[in-house]
């Protein structure tokens, strides 16, 4: 597997995946207050 780790393609995929994960966690973090207020609004 060391060859994969040195491959630019693999590295780019890892960066893309990490970015996607951080964006998703940020989105969830931003949505938390809305989810907490959801039952109150309804």
pLDDT digits (tens, 9 = 90+) for 16-42: 888 888 888 887 777 777 767 666 554
**How many domains does the structure of the chain reveal?**
1
Report the alpha-carbon distance of residue 29 to residue 32 in Å, rounded: 5
| Residue 11 pLDDT exceeds 80 | no
Q: Which residue segment(s) compose the domain that 17 sits in?
A: 2-41
Show Cβ contacts of residue 10 under 8 Å, excluding neighbours closer than 6 positions. 4
Q: What is the pTM of this model?
A: 0.45
Spatial contact of 18 and 24, defined as CB atoms under 8 Å apart: no
Reported as a pLDDT band with limits 50, 70 and 90, residue 1 is very low
């Amino acid at each position: 597997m060391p060859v994969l780790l040195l491959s630019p393609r693999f590295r780019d995929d890892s960066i893309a995946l990490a970015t996607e994960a951080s964006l998703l966690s940020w989105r969830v973090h931003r949505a938390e207050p809305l989810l907490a207020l959801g039952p109150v609004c309804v």
